[in-house]
Structure 1
Amino acid sequence: MNNAEYVTDFLRTVEKIARITNIANELYKKLHASKRRWVCPVNLTRQEESFFKTCIKQLKEKDEEHFFKVTRMNVSSFNILLSLLKQRMERFSNRKAIDPETRLAVTLLFLAQGCNFHVISWAYKIAISTVRKIIYETCDAIWNELHVVYISPPNLSELKGIANSFYVKTGLPNCLGAIDGKHIRITSPRNSGCLYNNYNKTFSVVLMAACDSNYVFTHVDVATLESQSDGGIFARSAFGSKLLGGTLQVPCDTNLPGTSTSFPYYYVGDSSFPLKPNLMRPFPGRHLAEDKNKFNLALSKARVHIENAFGILANRWRVLATTIHAFPKNVDKIVLATVVLHNFLMLQNDSNYFPLEHVDHSVGNKEINGRWRKEVNSLESFHPRTANRSSSKAFQLREKLKEFISSTAL
């Protein structure tokens, strides 16, 4: 082979190598692009094709009934809530950030329907990790921004108003509210041992709360359940420790209506709570004297308000009736956000959120169960297993209250 032929073959070889290299580069670019599209297709179509743009926005503008079913509030309440949270929910990024309206709609859908994160991800065309982040951040914003206004402890004047309302509705004087606790099921946290394990051998946190005569929560606390000492849940809660320790701000003792008998203000609970001067519970047993039965009936009429408040809460925010798949700190955010939203909508007088037939009520002499009892599985009540010790003063006060109830017509 002469030099000319050698050079020619060499150039042909270089040309083939260059062609193969170019083909390989093109294949790599296509493969890389396809992977990028598969991992994050939501970023390319989020604004044009997302569930919010194609469905929620249309419902908001044209179909308020179905908008309520998705968000659990009317358009007016949604807009007010958005205005209260907008500044805290705004985000800034090199690319177009998800707007506050979409963030709020995503969170309300999750809370109202108890949807799986994957379902919301596909509906809104947002990555699952982003969906989780949006929901946790928005729940946190709802609590931090609004709880001071919508779950602030009542002042003395407001407490007297609550007591007057309970007396008018139930015949029970000096009652400041009804208290109860409910289990919120969660998945087993890693390395938690028995920390969240309840007596049914499932995992949960306990939502402790008190409400007024209008089913609005006045005190709320999410407590960790320790199966070996669940009787101390109420005592360890912020509200319970103040109530049992006598440091909770309440009005001074006042005379029972129409009498000269001085009596303290108090809360009511079921038989799982201790009997204290500021915490009344029913007489135990079934075959009771008439005066004790009458007392228990009046107490039950007041106590059922917290049962109905929890019923409305779980019916409207159905994530609470599911097993929440989140770390405990995020479960707290979710639960507390639903309580704030409940109070927000109750105080907004949103008639769709709270129609009267939704709770237990009377028609003439007939007692009718609230609609929530038929529509959703009620939350499991929290029942302490430890014995409750009561003072002689507490027993004496209950006897006085029983005598007053027995002497008045309910």
Structure 2
Amino acid sequence: MFDALIGFIREQYRTNDFIPLHAPVFQGNEKKYVLETVDSTFVSSVGAFVDRFENDMAAYTGSPRAVATVNGTAALHVSLLLAGVKPGDLVLTQPLTFVATCNAIAYCGAEPVFIDVDRHTLGLSPTALEAWLEESAYLDPEGVCRTKAGGQVLRACLPMHTFGHPVELDELVRVCARWNLALVEDAAESLGSLYKGRHTGTFGCVGTLSFNGNKIITTGGGGMILAGEALGVRAKHITTTAKKAHPYEYVHDEVGYNYRLPNLNAALGCAQLESLEAFIASKRALAASYEAFFQGRSAQFVLEPEGCRSNYWLNAIICEDLEQRDALLLASNASGVMTRPIWRLMTHLPTFADSLRGDLSNALWLEERVVNLPSSVLPEPSI
């Protein structure tokens, strides 16, 4: 299968050169908008393109407010603060994620609690979440969710839409409402992904996006907070060093963060957003080709969950076992076709090795089997 897969990938990208996992595509107004920004001299955190990028992203996602940040991790940090996470709190999340999800929890002085994932979404399982809460938590007389063992406050739930595939949001919303947990969505990988027709990142009290260089659109580095009107206003305030408006005085009314996205980066983002639907169409066509290739083969292609539109940010397969996974990684990378395993579980990292957790059987099973395949936007047909 390995030689056939490598050949198939090379056919998709029409090259014998090195094929990366995911590369950015600049085919529209990127240079034009960036040069406009340079000519304006407004290249830092104030400028027309920052405002435009926020407004365009709010319109695209259907979020009342969108607040641009310097990166996705900063967006996560502030979103958890907006959700009320305090030092000593616990935040329920998944062990199968990029480390930024858990780093943002640590920035708040809080700790993660790791709950298993579903195999069909690769994201946080509402069933596993509810089971853990039933066994390990209770609501105190004030309605605060606490652990039975030590009485620690369980403040929020932080799912991540893995590789652009939405988690089971209806059920997560229900479980969080029952247990008075703030739902914060890590939608870093799922720009353009829809759950029952609604954009990911808009189901909880707040959601986040990432525009890192490897995402479906990029600002070089950047992120976005999606929130309602009141939280959106507050997000903009504390990400702008909590500076109060004044013609010339420096007045800061609380601890703030220098997290605003520079206008120069936002200019790139505005141009990229103009191409987003075309990028999604290309990536979904590539996913359909991968799906067809793996029909009848031993590895299983990861499909979007039922009722969802995934952006297929990173295409993924589930190998038969660890031996097949490692053999594929070795053969493909040796041939100049980049593939990667899924992340190591957060519980295997020294920083989070002692964190509370439920049964993680699915996450452990997936950790040994999932491989990401090249997923860049396909080259345009030659004329």
User: TM-score, normalised on structure 1?
Assistant: 0.21
Name whichever structure is richer in helix by fraction.
1
Pick 1 or 2: higher relative contact order, CA cutoff 8 A, min separation 6. 2
Name whichever structure is richer in strand by fraction.
2
User: TM-score, normalised on structure 2?
Assistant: 0.22
